[in-house]
Chain A
Amino acid sequence: MNALAPTDAIVVDNVFKSFKKTSKRNEYTTMKSELVRLLKFQRRLLEPGTQIEALKGIDLRIPKGRTVGIIGRNGSGKSTLLKLMTGIYSPTSGTIEVKGRISALLELGAGFHPDFTGRENILINGIILGMSRGELKERMPGIIEFAELGDFIDEPVRTYSSGMFMRLAFAVATHVDPDVLIIDEILSVGDEHFNRKSQAKMNEFRRSGKTIVLVTHDLSTVQSWCDAAVWIDGGKVRMFGDAAQVVSDYRRAVAAAEAEGQKTGHSALDQPGLALPGSEAALQAQEPVGSVSAVRLKDGAGTAPKAFDPHAPLTIEVDWALREKAKVRFGLDLIGADGRLIFSTAQDGGERSGTGTTTLELKRLGLGGGVYELLLSAAGNGEPVKNPFRVALHVAPTEGVGLLRPELRWSL
């Protein structure tokens, strides 16, 4: 059905995955039960009660060269999806196609032997990860240098500190040179210095046009790193799209679920069908007076570019609605990719009713390149802001780094 287009790196087509439930009493199938089954010529029965459906029909198309984050609650099926993409599991039904060499960083140091030296383990781990002996010989110096182990490289791995172990494992795994890199929650593997180094390595992957799929609970990583995000909920794709948008909707839904007093800690699989309540429904229950229904971002020319020029003006059009006649107060929060508040302002709008559009103009954007989040709110009669409208703001990169992009001039 869904053929692999040349621009796709991974195509997941209607994938279901169920696991057999192994209860305490009958942990493994016994020889006797299997023999009886064989003698009766019975096929293994798939009773619905003894199955856990981890994925319930996933459709996903990950384009080449993109970095895609997978988010969702514990037990929503994220890791299962990664294992299916990697080929460790095979789907119960549906198909998964992956183009190119795939490398998975699901657990660092798989197959490391404690009694062997770092050098010997690089060799074996590298071959396990799919490198040839020749490639390994070539990359060995690079791996050793990256791991920064010094003389310890010729000591048995069991004498390593956990940080050294992780560094070595990370170094091997990232030198495989894959087309598709799959990462499960392992970006922080060392001290501050090594973290920066591994981040730089990841950036290098992105720049060289490799596809990265990563599962993480660190939402700010997704916002700052990923081009797109997938929100998996109860074994289904709840949302797939722009990373900032997906993250902000996910945050809203989690907040709404918490407000409803629902435990989000327990697994979505514990109670089948229990997904986070739709944020809209949950919010309506709280019935705020004022709300923002839509936000449009425009540059000076009145168009909406994919990334905004830091030197140009920004116009924000806010469509609001009031359930009753009330004193309205408009709010704007500007949030950085790390979740930090950069700027916040509010303006009283006087007594109004019904719906309307309010415009806020920034004379000059003045932000450094990157992804930001704008929170727009319209609160009535002094009610607290509960449901701001979140919209992602992409700012085009210019020379210089940081959050701020002042107008500047050198005198030389």
Chain B
Amino acid sequence: MIRNLTELYQYRALLIALSMRELKARYRASVLGFLWTFLNPTLNMLVYVLVFGMVLRSSVPNYAYYLFTGLLPWIFFSSSLMGGTSSISDRRDLLTKVRFPAQVLPATVVLTNLINFLLSLPLLLGLGLFFGVLPSWHIVFLVPVLLVQTFFTLALTYFFAALNVAFRDLQHIVTNLIQMAFFLTPVLWDLKSIPAIAGLTKEQTQELVMRVNPMASVVGSWRAIFYEQRVPDWQPLLTVAALSLVVMWISTWVFERRREEFAELV
């Protein structure tokens, strides 16, 4: 795991160059260009606000802002995973023609989405101001939460990217899993509003969601910083961090074992 990550650091020039290229290429031919970085999540949010805020009448105050604090990190996570899964299998041009460090490819996708996420943070703060929420000092906790989420995302992306080279079904499975996970994560809804189901009490159900879904903890932490303006609960966050280490260890192991066949199978 350490070797894989230090190698990634060695190739940072490549990683940065490729990420810049992705960011520039994404909106190059469009008229609005870079504005789409802000427009995409905003439009996305407006759709959800229309459905869940106005039609289904969510009881959460400042629902648009509440939604946005969860939606932005979720987009970072889901786009990384969806783009990253096919990042190796799509780059036959690079892998079979030059000596190329394969782990740079999924990392590029994660880094690109991370930068996109950071760029859209001012938008989040702006929306907060619109609802009269001033940013508080709790914003410093952005750093640890961001680190945990990035590490967790990278670990999962590695894993799927390595396996997708041999089983291309995975990219379709991942797309569907992510959609399911989106509704299992308290992005659109409030964890506190969850009903008691299948013989469990309300608290137990909440506990269950937090346990099975690491992204619930991560999204909860973002909410704590920006929406509730308090110190994020450190316990679930540490659990995710520990889990990320385990996933990363497994991912890099799988990755190292499979990387030799990448050039032959893509």
Residues of A within 8 A of B (CB): 19-20, 28-31, 34, 83, 86-90, 102, 104, 106-107, 110-111, 113, 115-116, 120, 123-124, 127-130, 132-133
Contact = CB atoms under 8 A, between A and B. Distances in A.
Nearest to A184: B97
Nearest to B15: A127
Nearest to B100: A128
A107 B97 contact: yes
A89 B100 CA distance: 11
Contacts of A88: 95-100, 263
A113 B22 CA distance: 10
Nearest to A127: B17
B99 A113 contact: no
Interface stretch (B131-139, B145-153, B166-174, B237-245): B166-174
A115 B263 contact: no
Interface stretch (B24-32, B76-84, B208-216): B24-32
Given A86-B99, A107-B97, A115-B29, A29 B13 contact: no
A233 B63 CA distance: 71
A120 B25 CA distance: 11
Given A30-B169, A89-B260, A104-B99, 9 more contacts: A34-B166, A83-B96, A102-B99, A107-B93, A115-B28, A124-B21, A127-B13, A128-B14, A128-B94
Contact of A124 (B17, B167, B263, B264): B17
5 contacts: A88-B95, A88-B97, A88-B98, A116-B25, A124-B21
Given A124-B17, A133-B13, A110 B97 contact: yes
A113 B21 contact: yes
A28 B168 contact: yes
Interface in B93-143: 93-100
B18 interface: yes
Interface centre among B14, B99, B100, B167 (most CB of A within 10 A): B99
A90 B260 contact: yes
A31 B169 contact: yes
Q: Which interface class (under 10, 10 to 19, 20 to 34, 35 or more) fits B?
A: 20 to 34
B18 A29 contact: no
B18 A124 contact: yes
Contacts of A83: 96, 263
Contacts of A116: 21, 24-25, 28
Contacts of B263: 83, 88-89
Contact of A87 (B94, B96, B99): B99
A129 B221 CA distance: 41
A123 B13 CA distance: 11
Nearest to B260: A90
A106 B97 contact: yes
A173 to B, nearest CB: 9
A89 B168 CA distance: 21
Contacts of A133: 13
Contacts of B13: 127, 132-133
Interface centre among A34, A110, A113, A133 (most CB of B within 10 A): A110
A132 B14 CA distance: 9
A88 B93 CA distance: 12
A15 to B, nearest CB: 14
B interface secondary structure, majority: helix
A169 to B, nearest CB: 11
Contacts of B94: 110-111, 128
Contacts of B21: 113, 116, 120, 124
B93 A110 contact: yes
Contacts of A120: 21, 24
B264 to A, nearest CB: 6
A116 B25 CA distance: 8
A28 B166 contact: yes
Nearest to B20: A124
Contacts of B25: 113, 115-116
Contacts of A31: 167, 169-170
A89 B264 contact: yes
Contacts of B24: 116, 120
B162 to A, nearest CB: 13
A128 B99 CA distance: 9
Contacts of A115: 25, 28-29
A99 B21 CA distance: 32
B28 A30 contact: no
Contacts of A29: 166-167
A92 to B, nearest CB: 10
A19 B98 CA distance: 19
B260 A123 contact: no
Nearest to A130: B99
A130 B11 CA distance: 9
Nearest to B18: A124
Interface in B233-266: 260, 263-265
B98 A110 contact: yes
A89 B98 CA distance: 10
Nearest to B169: A31
B175 to A, nearest CB: 15
Given A83-B263, A133-B13, A111 B93 contact: yes
A124 B21 CA distance: 8
Interface in B20-63: 21, 24-25, 28-29
A106 B167 contact: no
Contacts of A130: 99
Contacts of A123: 17
Interface in B139-198: 166-170
B169 A104 contact: no
B231 to A, nearest CB: 40
Nearest to A92: B260
A397 to B, nearest CB: 36
A106 B17 contact: no
Per CB-CB distance, the 7 closest pairs between chain A and chain B, nearest first, are A110-B97, A107-B97, A87-B99, A127-B17, A90-B260, A88-B263, A115-B28
Contacts of A104: 97-99
Contacts of A106: 97-98
A110 B100 CA distance: 11
A298 B227 CA distance: 93
Contacts of B28: 115-116
